[in-house]
Structure 1
Amino acid sequence: MDAKTGFFYLFAVVLLYAAFRVITARNPVHAVLHLILAFSQAAGIWLLLKAEFLAITLVLVYLGAVMVLFLFVVMMLDIRIDAVRKGFWKHFPVAALIGAIVTFEMAAVLMTGFRGMEEPKAIADVVVNAAGQAVPYSNTKALGKLLYSEYLYPVEVAAVILLVAMIAAIALTLRQRKDSKAIDPADQIRVRAADRVVMMKMPATEPPAAEAAPAAEEKKQ
């Protein structure tokens, strides 16, 4: 077994363990951390397949932005695990049904979806052009040409969906909530001292409450 095969098995074992812990960890923070580990191992497998662009994109986009955002959101929400577990068995049949459907679809794709396809050839670092000259091969350049030529419309549809999701997230965040304690800066600037401080006239001396009660009883007698 060469070093490349060893690294593949190492990344694959850690990836499977991390993915299993994502759905079995009781602490949401631990689940997010295991998901970060799973993405990092997937990026390593992409590097072994010479898909450097996909590996770097997975690290920068998911590990550097999305998963860090998930981690901060989970830590700031203060999720009560006991309250979340109350409806586990209530929703278990639906979750089991969805899991069975996903497993069946993946099995169908893996068993029948790749039949009749040729084995992919290894991507060389140097290719020969029409003139017979050896030129360096760029995986990222080839992927970019493929995305913006043959798959142009799917890329545009995905971009529109992401734009709509971003606008919807901003709209949901900026909605007026009743329990919000936000203060308008314009109201703070227009405030006057009389609106903040109220002067009340009180006598200079007043007997303490403990002495005032017996004196009031004596007056009544």
Structure 2
Amino acid sequence: MDTTTALFYVFSAVLLFAGFRVITARSTVHAALYLVLAFFNASCVWMLLRAEFLAIALVLVYVGAVMVLFLFVVMMLDFNNEQVRDGFWKHFPLAAVIGVVIALEMAVVLLGGFRLSEVQPMAPELAQLGNTKALGVVLYTQYLYPLEIAAVILLVAIIAAIALTMRRRKDSRWTDPAEQVRVTKAQRLRIVNVPVAREAAASTEQQAAPNGGQA
């Protein structure tokens, strides 16, 4: 066993352990940190496969941006996850069986792509380029239409998320920017006269004083 194979098994073992701890950690913050560890080990595996662009994109995009946002939201909300985790170990065996079945189905579908009889050589004009530049050339030439379809799907998802957030609900608090712009000076400040209950306060003081307030 050479060094690359040994590192692959080490990174894969840590990746599996971190992925398992993501769903079993009692603290949400700890689960997010284990997910960061899983991302780092996945990027190390990609580095061993000489996919430097995917490795650095995983670190910069997911670890540097997405996970920081997750941690910020989790620490800001500070919700109690005991109710969420109620009955976790009760339903864990069924969830584990379903997960194994899904993994086997994915293995049946994806293993065919790894059984390559002949490795297709890279084009001579791409062989002189780096991995990142060669990936960009192939992505924006041969796979341009799938890339555009994925971009449209993400755009629809963003619009749907905004529409669901901005819909009018009874418990939602939102303001119309057009009404805020049209507001006048007189509408910004409203003075309310509040009557002062002096007589009630004086009677309370007299009752509290000894001998009915008499000297």
Q: Same fold (TM over 0.5)?
A: yes
Residue 211 of structure 1 aligns with which residue? 206
Root mean square deviation, CA, Å? 3.7
Distance apart, 1:93 and its partner CA: 7.4
Residue 212 of structure 2 aligns with which residue? none
Distance change >3 Å, CA 171–CA 15, structure 1 → 2: same
Task: Provide, for residues 161-199 of structure 1, a one-character-per-residue CA deviation record: whole Å limited to 9, x for no partner.
Answer: 111111122223333443345567556954365x24415
Pick which of 2-11 and 86-95 moved more.
Answer: 86-95
Distance change >3 Å, CA 120–CA 68, structure 1 → 2: farther
Pick which of 176-185 and 25-34 moved more.
Answer: 176-185
Residue 37 of structure 2 aligns with which residue? 37
Distance apart, 1:45 and its partner CA: 1.5
Distance apart, 1:159 and its partner CA: 0.5
Residue 105 of structure 1 aligns with which residue? 105
Tell me the number of residue pairs that the alignment of Structure 1 and Structure 2 aligns. 205
Task: Provide, for residues 63-102 of structure 1, a one-character-per-residue CA deviation record: whole Å limited to 9, x for no partner.
Answer: 1222222222223333322211335478657634531331
Residue 67 of structure 1 aligns with which residue? 67
Q: Which structure shows the bigger proportion of residues in helix conformation?
A: 2
What does 1:10-159 align with in structure 2 at a 5 Å threshold? 10-86=10-86, 88=88, 95-96=95-96, 98-109=98-109, 112-114=111-113, 116-118=115-117, 136-159=128-151
Among 144, 148, 156, the residue aligned to 1:164: 156
Q: Show structure 2 runs of 5+ residues with no match.
A: 210-215
Normalized against structure 2, the TM-score is what?
0.74
**Percent identity for Structure 1 against Structure 2:** 55
Distance 2:175 2:45 in 1: 50
Distance apart, 1:51 and its partner CA: 0.9
Instruction: Report the residue type matching 2:13 in the other structure.
Output: V
Pick which of 143-152 and 201-210 moved more.
Answer: 201-210
